[in-house]
Amino acid sequence: MGDDLFLKILLERYPSINFFAFADKSYLSWDKRFQNFTVISSNRSTEMSRKKGFFVSLYYRFIALKQRIMLLRRAKSLVIIGGSIFMQFVHRRGLKKKIKFRFQLVKNSIKYYASKKVFICGSNFGPFFDIQYKNTYHSIFNKYCNDICFRDRYSFDLFNDLNNVRYAPDILFGANMPIIEKKRNVFFSVVDLNGNVSKFGELSKYGDSYDDWLLEATKLFHNKGYHITYCSFCSYEGDMNEVIKLSRRAKKDGIKVSQLFYYDNIEKILEAIAESEIVVGTRFHATILGLVAKAKVIPILYSDKTKNVLEDMNFDMQNCIDLRNFDKNNFDVLDRAVRNSIFDVSTEISESVGHFSALDAFLKK
């Protein structure tokens, strides 16, 4: 949901510029929605790489990379837009993992080298676990990138010796939220800690406690007269399973909740956030969009990316739940959310457009 909204903002900002993207078939519908967008489906290479084994997989990855290079050489520029796109994954053990890891770095280097211009918008850097990883990207950024705008000061500080590195608040602070009258509603963005060990790692051990906390929070808000909405931002990563599981448990306790699943229905989810008085956000961009919508927000942190952005804006971290230091009996944060005033993000809204300043100049917007 968050990354797709990045893409939507980019396409709408430059309606006279033609964009091409390698993506799976789920994005083919975007061709019809945006006249300036063409999807080159990568499904065949992906399917073949899964069916034929590891080394054949590498072959098809090289074929896909060759296609990308041909397109990049014809294009005026490469725009890389996204959030956590520079993560070093923990599970890099064994020969196959090391080969894939090195291939990823080589692929990125070639991709940047093949492009006439390179602009990176909206990302943070990390987490990373060895200095070689950071130094490799330092070299890539320095040699091949025209402009990099990070969404947190931590990432900016890692590369602040480079003249092409900048900082601006997250792109989605600039999202156009619907103007809707608030309802007595609590919007929960949830993830499946138990079912997504590859993403959440050690935090998955808190999966049951996380579920119990969410259900108890649901009961407490329900008893205060709030309607509850559970939302999945990413079905691929298991959010949908979590929504269904929690909804069933809530129903057993006599609580009727609304279920909302993201499947290319950005506007509907934005409306649900905009009309909610309170947003409990595990997904990073549920927190950001809740703040933009002038909701009272309870961020649930699973990595430093949310923590760093919130600290940049002097958000009171006592109003967060941190899954890395999880207290399943901490419900004081819910009462504080009800009592708290709306957190002002007007500065972040006005400054978020800074991610596009270099691209604006290049494309002469």
- Residue 186 per-residue DSSP state: E
The pLDDT tens digits for 251-278 are 999 999 999 999 989 999 999 999 999 9
Look at residue 298 in the predicted model and tell me its pLDDT: 98
Angle between helices 332-339 and 207-223 (to 10 degrees): 40
pTM for the whole structure: 0.92
Dihedral pair phi/psi, residue 261, rounded to 5°: -120, 135
Structure confidence by residue, pLDDT tens digits, 171-222: 999 999 999 999 999 999 999 999 888 788 889 999 999 999 999 999 999 9
Average pLDDT (14-42) is: 90
Which of 67-71, 86-90, 150-154, 246-250 shows the lowest per-residue confidence on average (mean pLDDT)?
A: 86-90
Of 151, 144, 121, give the one whose Cα is nearest residue 7: 121
Residue 120 has pLDDT above 80, yes or no: yes
What integer best gives the mean pLDDT of the chain?
91
User: For residue 122, which of 361, 357, 363 has the smallest C-alpha distance?
Assistant: 357
